[in-house]
């Protein structure tokens, strides 16, 4: 014990000694150091690999270099001539040229990129791996180059096609780069010079014609420097450029001079941000005298500009003139893609060129070649089949080993004939490699060319007005059109025509319809509408008449003063306009012609005075400039809205004759029909800005009074009304009424009929027009927005009526001026229909507020853009006091804009309400119907636009992206924490939403993208909502949004799969978005042809998208999926007998089939059956697919080509292949050896004949539904051609046997005359047909009993899944199509111009055939009976 105690080793807890613990610690430390060293070494290896990849692949081959930011931006001196090109300090050489490139390849990187792309396809790589060993002598039993040569031919052919497609993009780039601009220079190389020509140009198909001509230039010269034309591609940074009116800006420039008043220049930026209004640009006040070349030379300025970046809505820079430096902002810069408008001339200095311009940095500069999504499934199939080939080869090789042990070593004649195992297995792999047919890829290219031609020649997608057909620019992804789940659409030029029409007036509590631009219908149409007593009366007419059934809409407020429609809902003859967003809305019974008539009859009445003040305000409060061209007066406006207002004022008798900075002259029609010319002095104009949301004009009337007239958004006008408290009270009442209506729509949609395909609620409630329904107000309402005040559907920008955004007043005190109320000799009789204008409510402030608010709410739900007009009169002294402060703010050098807005706000107070306007942003024809159909097809639609939020929401209502019962959620980073907003949105979505729409702006989207947590939360929710509206988004943000959604969809699988992405647009600002999506569609619109040229597909109008997707998309998906499945099926079926035959030849690799026939098997005898199916197959007619869009989900869920379908088809092929071999062997080979020809050739040709005949019979007759003359002709040619081929072989081969095959005269003289041979062939074919029929009956029985699904407890169709993709369900539709009357009904339902609710109800009724019921046989009978009852009886 003592010895133990005296031991120097101390015990540690747990029984470890100090030495042991030290060793353990040293080992742990050493282990940690080793791990750290390993990780460090691994990181170095990864970094080295990344560096090599960056230097070789990215920088050298792909020509993409990472450029560091400069220290303080780029310095650009203002000079009329530069001795040498300016240097880019980031690169160490001159700035980029101004040429742009949208093509994907260059001469240097085309071959490496294409080789990598082609052999990254699993099929091509597989054949490359098979073809290389096949070329080794002695290994292949099927030839040396039979795989590698067809593969190289196919790859080269595909590369040539890709190269030609990209060359077309290159030619378009050349056309843009060859445009002319005007710069300062010494030598004019283009004016008056004939174009250069070369002797071979006439026969050169690749020559690009440059037909542009130089712009006119002024006669100005200084020290030999003058204005000269140059190509866009030759423009350099630092060049001084001159722009003429309506000229496109060729590069990013800073404005030096403008001929506009106060140095203003107006530009159109539609191609950049999609906004239609003109933007004003101001010359920097430090730059003076730059209107001449001499003045530019004297101006010693230097510009310091930020490095190129894609931010469209910000610009940082400064200009130093002498010792004074002045900041440069977005207000002084013109971007490439803009167009100079309403300005005679502008001069600027180039600061960014080519790919460094804002518009190009927002474009997808390195687009990847797009691949069809079916290729991913096909690649998996190729991998499984390659594995199957290897396993099969190993299996038969092991059979050879067993045969070698049991037989070969005992056979004296096989002595020294042993074959190495590796050669046997490679030989078998080469023999069976055609299970993955190379012909699949070659035939698929032929199929896609045929599909392309059919799509391009579809007359239903031809636009006669513009002579524009549909065009396919990329035929490799045609089947992707049938799998779209998300649609990203631009607004301006895509959904809209960019044409504004003045539509409604609200004045003194009355509403009037303006429809002078709409042609009146024929007399018989009017009579037919007026005589229609109910909606049922028009149901069975050959040409249906549109009837509007008014909604039973509860109101917490009084009924409007304006006369309403009769309860039957028929549209009266004087109203020809119909809201696209709310076709059920009752339109006013009176129009502006009636208003003018009343004003002429009662010019002294209170209402007449209000109406004339309203029209006068419309004619005065704007910035439009009239131009007289011949006998017509045309207007140059800053926005289409202003143009519509001024034209409407002209149509209503208040025509603008002349306008300059000092005065505006009007011609006012008087009651006697004479016109009076009045001149108003313009004292000041307070411009519209996105922050102010209003503009004001201060004018002096001819009688000397000074008036301030303001127009703007309701949220901006409300706080400035004199009676805003009363307006706020009435706004609250109208808001409650709108909330109640919203809740009722939600309830009616939830309890209304659904179709089972996409779960779409029927938002259209059919009512008895003669019965009114009393409804109770719900106890409470849930907030559906994140705005203040608990507002429901729209924010202060998007909402038309809300507590914080509405404020109207009515003023009846003003004394009429003599020019507003001219004396009338004697009173005239007023028709009875104007009695409502004599009511006392006209002068009641409370009633007027209520009615005006309700009108604005109706305008907004109809998708109309609203403005409020307000007015006040001020004294001369008040004006002079304000004018002094305003002049000081206008001349301030720092914070000028903010000071102007602050001073302007002082005079924009205590307004009296004048009235409200409603402007229709005209949609393209058929847009609402197209969006309805796409939504029914389970496609979620996102609208991405650069426009402001209010405009975007209005268009969403017009286009029916927002429905009356939609819940609109607005995400706004300025309203609080985004995470809490998203959490509240998630709670609301989980509690149930009829139709959810999320609105987000570009600033909020930027905040979301900066945070990984917010981004993950946001996109997870956006996948669930029905529609998204993204406003104020830059092109780069649009593309990033599409890319992110695309990546999110890739992670979904199984039942969660939601299809692919499609982007559609018409301008250069949409190119990045189009390139980022799975499918890009361009519209040949008013923004140009950039999108149509670069996109995968181009159409003339948005409405053609429904046919492109629902018809051609589904057809091409069905065709391609069936083509791939049938190709693999026939190969598996055909090659299994030769594998079975190996056991009878000692696994020696002897082929059952003769080599010559085998070589042409896929080319001559089984190619047409798959190619015809891939090109012309139509499982359902186009009318059915358009009438029932829910059938589109078949492709979205990838039900045509998936693992289950592939396994099922391969199992069928295996069973039928085995049955074919044993049937032939039993009938002609072993059991009954009574044939006249017992050679291998006879046996092989029998199996070959069964294979060819059964493949063609099954694919042409059983699997092809749409049997055209071409299809049936191909069937007979192929089957007859097979026997002709046998006769041909009989004559061309020599009498001496070719290897194991004796061919000469065998078909005509030997087995061809053998009844056993023929009877065996037909018996085996009958057996195969019987197997298919039995399988079909079993399948039908299981489906009828609800046992087809697995697991068994999931019986019957899945609720809410929609159209069952099984054969029986499709055959029901195909059976319905055989009925002529049913076809006519489907045709009517498919027509674009049918907007009546009757047809939507019919669609819902037709879709009831897909509801889940027990007992499919009875259900089918009930479906067909019900559908046929819908058909009107013939007279």
Both tokens of 324, joined, read 């004074």
Question: Which of 622-655 are b and which e, b meaning 16 or more Cβ less than 10 Å from the residue's Cβ?
Answer: bbbbbeeeeeebebbbbbbbbbbbbbbbbbbbbb
Q: Is 797 a known ligand-binding residue?
A: no
Q: Is 490 a known ligand-binding residue?
A: yes
HSE-up (13 A, CA, CB side) for residue 537? 16
The phi and psi torsions of 600 (rounded to 5 degrees) equal -70, -35
Q: Is 1026 a known ligand-binding residue?
A: no
Is residue 1237 part of the annotated active site? The answer reads no
Q: Is 1146 a known ligand-binding residue?
A: no
Both tokens of 239, joined, read 């060049």
The gap from C-alpha 631 to its chain's centroid, in whole angstroms, comes to: 43
DSSP, collapsed to helix, strand or coil, labels residue 1317 as helix
Spatial neighbors of 591 by CB under 8 A, at least 6 apart, are 512, 513, 514, 515, 574, 575
3-state helix, strand, coil in the chain (%, to 5): 50, 15, 35
Beta pairing class for 333-334 and 252-258:
antiparallel
Distance from C-alpha of 1200 to C-alpha of 378, rounded to nearest angstrom: 12
Q: Is 947 a known ligand-binding residue?
A: yes
Q: Is 1069 a known ligand-binding residue?
A: yes
Contact between 1272 and 1349 (Cβ < 8 Å)? no
Q: Is 1122 a known ligand-binding residue?
A: no
DSSP, collapsed to helix, strand or coil, labels residue 1418 as helix
Select from 625, 642, 649, 619 the least CA-distant residue to 712: 642
What's the longest Cα–Cα distance across the chain?
140
Distance from C-alpha of 1072 to C-alpha of 1091, rounded to nearest angstrom: 10
- Is the peptide bond between 1351 and the residue preceding it cis, with omega within 30 degrees of 0? yes
The DSSP line for 1156-1221 is HHHHTIIIIISSHHHHHHHHH--SS-HHHHHH-GGGGHHHHTT-SSSHHHHHHHHHHHHHHHHHHH
Select from 1060, 976, 1057, 1047 the least CA-distant residue to 1016: 1047
Distance from C-alpha of 900 to C-alpha of 755, rounded to nearest angstrom: 57
Q: Is 1038 a known ligand-binding residue?
A: yes
For tokens 């905040």, name the residue.
1007
Which strand ranges, in their side-by-side order, compose the sheet holding 484-489? 471-472, 1097-1099, 1079-1083, 1060-1065, 484-489, 940-944, 1027-1031, 996-1001, 967-971
Residues 1195, 1090, 59, CA angle at the centre, nearest 5°? Answer: 85
**Across the strands, what pairs with 318?**
304, 327
Q: Is 1290 a known ligand-binding residue?
A: no
Q: Is 1305 a known ligand-binding residue?
A: no
Distance from C-alpha of 611 to C-alpha of 607, rounded to nearest angstrom: 6
Contact between 1343 and 1355 (Cβ < 8 Å)? no
Q: Is 1032 a known ligand-binding residue?
A: yes
Which one of 252, 490, 972, 1364 is the catalytic residue? 490
Select from 1199, 1357, 1169, 1371 the least CA-distant residue to 1270: 1169
The phi and psi torsions of 753 (rounded to 5 degrees) equal -70, 145
Distance from C-alpha of 1377 to C-alpha of 1359, rounded to nearest angstrom: 25
Both tokens of 476, joined, read 């490799």
Q: Is 1130 a known ligand-binding residue?
A: no
Q: Is 324 a known ligand-binding residue?
A: no
Distance from C-alpha of 664 to C-alpha of 698, rounded to nearest angstrom: 12
Distance from C-alpha of 717 to C-alpha of 734, rounded to nearest angstrom: 17
Angle formed by the axes of helices 148-177 and 439-456, nearest 10°: 30
What are the binding residues?
Answer: 490-492, 642, 688, 711, 865, 945-947, 1032, 1038, 1066, 1069-1070
Residues with a known catalytic role? 490
What are the binding residues for Mg(2+)?
Answer: 490, 492, 1066, 1070
């Amino acid at each position: 014990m003592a010895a133990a105690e005296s031991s120097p080793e101390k015990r540690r807890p747990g029984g470890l000694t100090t030495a042991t613990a030290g060793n353990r610690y040293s080992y742990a430390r050493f282990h940690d150091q080793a791990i750290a060293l390993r990780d460090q070494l691994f990181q170095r290896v990864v970094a080295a690999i990344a560096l090599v990849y960056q230097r070789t692949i990215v920088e050298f081959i792909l020509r993409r270099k990472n450029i560091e930011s400069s220290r303080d931006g780029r310095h650009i001196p203002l000079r009329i001539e530069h001795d040498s090109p300016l240097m880019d300090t980031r690169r160490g050489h001159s700035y980029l040229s101004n040429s742009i490139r949208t093509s994907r390849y260059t001469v240097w990187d085309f071959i490496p990129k294409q080789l990598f792309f082609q052999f990254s396809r699993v099929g091509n790589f597989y054949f490359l791996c098979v073809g290389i060993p096949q070329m080794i002598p002695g290994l292949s039993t099927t030839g040396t180059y039979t795989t590698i040569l067809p593969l190289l031919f196919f790859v080269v052919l595909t590369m040539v096609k890709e190269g030609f497609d990209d060359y077309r993009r290159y030619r378009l780039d050349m056309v843009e780069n060859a445009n002319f601009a005007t710069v300062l220079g010494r030598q004019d190389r283009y004016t008056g010079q004939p174009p250069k020509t070369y002797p071979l140009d006439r026969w050169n198909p690749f020559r690009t014609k440059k037909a542009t001509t130089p712009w006119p230039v002024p006669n100005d010269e200084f020290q030999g420097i003058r204005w000269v034309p140059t190509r866009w591609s030759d423009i350099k940074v630092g060049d001084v450029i001159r722009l003429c009116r309506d000229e496109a800006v060729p590069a990013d420039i800073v404005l030096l001079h403008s001929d506009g008043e106060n140095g203003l220049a107006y530009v159109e930026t539609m191609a950049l941000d999609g906004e239609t209004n003109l933007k004003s640009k101001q010359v920097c006040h430090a730059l003076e005298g730059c209107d001449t070349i001499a003045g530019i030379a004297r101006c010693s300025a230097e510009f310091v500009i930020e490095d190129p970046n894609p931010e469209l809505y910000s610009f940082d820079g400064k200009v130093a003139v002498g010792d004074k430096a002045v900041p440069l902002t977005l207000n002084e810069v013109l971007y490439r893609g803009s167009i100079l408008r309403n300005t005679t001339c502008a001069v600027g200095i180039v600061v960014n060129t080519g790919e460094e311009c804002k518009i190009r940095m927002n474009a997808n500069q390195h687009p990847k070649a797009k691949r069809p999504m079916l290729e991913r499934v096909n690649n998996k199939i190729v991998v499984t089949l390659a594995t199957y080939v290897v396993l099969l080869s190993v299996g038969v090789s092991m059979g050879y080993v067993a045969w070698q042990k049991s037989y070969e070593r005992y056979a004296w004649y096989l002595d020294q004939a042993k074959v190495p195992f590796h050669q046997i297995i490679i030989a078998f792999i080469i023999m069976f490699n055609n299970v993955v047919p190379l012909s699949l890829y070659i035939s698929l290219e032929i199929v896609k060319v045929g599909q392309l031609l059919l799509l391009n020649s579809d007359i239903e997608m031809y636009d006669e007005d513009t002579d524009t057909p549909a065009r396919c620019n990329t035929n490799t992804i045609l089947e992707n059109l049938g799998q779209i789940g998300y649609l990203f659409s631009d607004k301006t030029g895509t959904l809209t025509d960019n044409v504004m029409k003045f539509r409604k007036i609200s004045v003194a509590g009355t509403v009037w319809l303006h429809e002078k631009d709409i042609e009146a219908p024929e007399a018989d149409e009017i009579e037919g509408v007026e005589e229609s007593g109910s909606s049922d009366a028009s149901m069975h007419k050959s040409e249906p008449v549109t009837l509007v059934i008014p909604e039973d809409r509860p109101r917490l407020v009084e009924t409007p003063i304006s006369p309403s429609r009769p309860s039957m809902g028929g549209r009266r003859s004087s109203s020809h306009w119909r809201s696209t967003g709310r076709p059920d809305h009752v339109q006013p019974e009176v129009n502006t012609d009636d208003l003018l008539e009343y004003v002429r009859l009662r010019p002294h009445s209170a209402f007449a005075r209000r109406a004339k003040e309203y029209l006068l305000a419309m004619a005065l409060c704007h910035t439009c400039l009239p131009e007289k061209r011949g006998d017509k007066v045309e207007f140059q406006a800053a926005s289409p809205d202003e143009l519509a207002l001024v034209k409407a004022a002209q149509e209503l008798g208040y025509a603008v004759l002349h306008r300059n900075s000092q005065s505006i002259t009007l011609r006012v029609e008087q009651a006697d029909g004479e016109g009076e010319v009045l001149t108003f002095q313009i004292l000041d104009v307070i411009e519209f800005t996105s922050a102010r949301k209003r503009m004001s004009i201060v004018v002096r009337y001819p009688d000397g009074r000074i008036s301030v007239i303001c127009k703007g958004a309701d949220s901006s006008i409300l706080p400035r009304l004199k009676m805003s408290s009363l307006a706020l009270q009435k706004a609250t009442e109208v808001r409650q009424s709108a909330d109640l209506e919203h809740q009722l729509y939600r309830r009616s949609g939830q309890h209304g009929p659904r179709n089972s395909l996409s779960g779409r609620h029927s938002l259209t409630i059919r009512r008895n027009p003669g019965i009114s329904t009393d409804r109770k107000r719900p106890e409470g309402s849930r907030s559906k927005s994140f705005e203040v005040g608990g507002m429901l559907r729209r924010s202060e920008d998007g909402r038309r009526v809300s507590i914080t955004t509405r404020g109207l007043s009515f003023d009846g005190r003003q004394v009429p001026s003599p020019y507003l109320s001219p004396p009338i000799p004697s009173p005239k009789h007023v028709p009875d229909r104007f009695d409502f204008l004599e009511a006392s409510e006209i002068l009641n402030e409370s009633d007027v507020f209520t009615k005006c608010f309700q009108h604005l709410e109706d305008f907004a739900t109809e998708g109309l853009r609203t403005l409020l007009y307000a007015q006040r009169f001020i004294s001369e002294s008040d004006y002079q006091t304000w004018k002094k402060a305003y002049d000081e703010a206008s001349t301030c050098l720092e914070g000028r804009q903010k000071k102007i807005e602050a001073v302007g706000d002082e005079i924009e107070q205590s307004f009296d309400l004048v009235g409200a306007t409603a402007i229709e942003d005209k949609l393209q024809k058929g847009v609402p119907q197209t969006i309805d159909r796409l939504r029914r097809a389970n496609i979620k639609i996102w609208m991405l636009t650069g426009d402001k939020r209010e405009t975007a929401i209005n268009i969403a209502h017009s286009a029916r992206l927002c429905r009356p019962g939609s819940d609109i959620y607005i995400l706004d980073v300025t309203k609080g924490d985004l995470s809490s907003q998203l959490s509240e949105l998630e709670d609301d979505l989980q509690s149930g939403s009829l139709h959810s729409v999320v609105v987000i702006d570009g600033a909020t989207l930027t905040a979301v993208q900066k945070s990984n947590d917010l981004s993950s939360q946001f996109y997870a929710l956006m996948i669930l909502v029905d529609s998204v509206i993204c406003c104020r988004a830059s092109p780069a943000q649009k593309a990033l949004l599409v890319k992110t959604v695309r990546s999110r969809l890739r992670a979904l699988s199984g039942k969660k799969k939601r299809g692919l992405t499609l982007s559609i647009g018409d301008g250069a600002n949409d190119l990045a978005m189009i390139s980022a999506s799975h499918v890009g569609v361009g519209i040949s619109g008013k923004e140009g042809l950039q999108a149509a040229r670069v996109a995968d597909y181009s159409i003339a109008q948005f409405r053609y998208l429904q046919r492109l997707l629902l018809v051609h998309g589904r057809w091409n998906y069905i065709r391609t999926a069936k083509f791939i499945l049938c190709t693999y099926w026939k190969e598996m079926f055909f090659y299994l007998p030769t594998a079975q035959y190996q056991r009878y030849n000692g696994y020696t690799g002897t082929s059952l089939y003769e080599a010559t026939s085998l070589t042409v098997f896929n080319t001559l005898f089984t190619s047409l059956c798959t190619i015809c199916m891939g090109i012309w197959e139509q499982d359902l007619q186009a009318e059915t697919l358009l009438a029932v869009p829910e059938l589109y989900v078949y492709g979205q869920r990838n039900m045509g080509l998936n693992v289950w379908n592939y396994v099922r088809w391969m199992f069928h092929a295996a069973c039928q292949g085995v049955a074919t071999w044993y049937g032939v062997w039993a009938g002609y080979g072993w059991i009954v050896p009574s044939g006249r020809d017992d050679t291998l050739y006879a046996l092989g040709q029998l199996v070959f004949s069964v294979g060819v005949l059964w493949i063609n019979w099954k694919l042409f007759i059983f699997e092809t539904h749409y049997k055209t003359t071409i299809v049936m002709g191909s069937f007979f040619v192929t089957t007859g051609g097979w026997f002709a081929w046998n006769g041909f072989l009989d004559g061309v081969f020599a009498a001496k046997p070719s290897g194991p095959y004796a061919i000469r005269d065998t078909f005509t003289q030997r087995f061809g005359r053998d009844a056993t041979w023929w009877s065996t062939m037909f018996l085996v074919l009958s057996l195969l047909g019987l197997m298919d029929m039995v399988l079909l009956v079993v399948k039908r029985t299981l489906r009828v009993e609800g046992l087809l699904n697995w697991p068994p407890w999931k019986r019957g169709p899945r609720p809410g899944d929609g159209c069952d993709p099984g054969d029986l369900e499709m055959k029901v539709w195909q059976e319905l199509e055989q009925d002529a009357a049913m076809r006519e009904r489907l045709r009517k339902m498919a027509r674009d111009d049918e907007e009546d609710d009757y047809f939507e109800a019919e669609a819902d009724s037709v879709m009831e055939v897909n509801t889940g019921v027990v007992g499919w046989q009875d259900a089918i009978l009930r479906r067909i009976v019900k559908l046929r009852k819908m058909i009107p009886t013939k007279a």
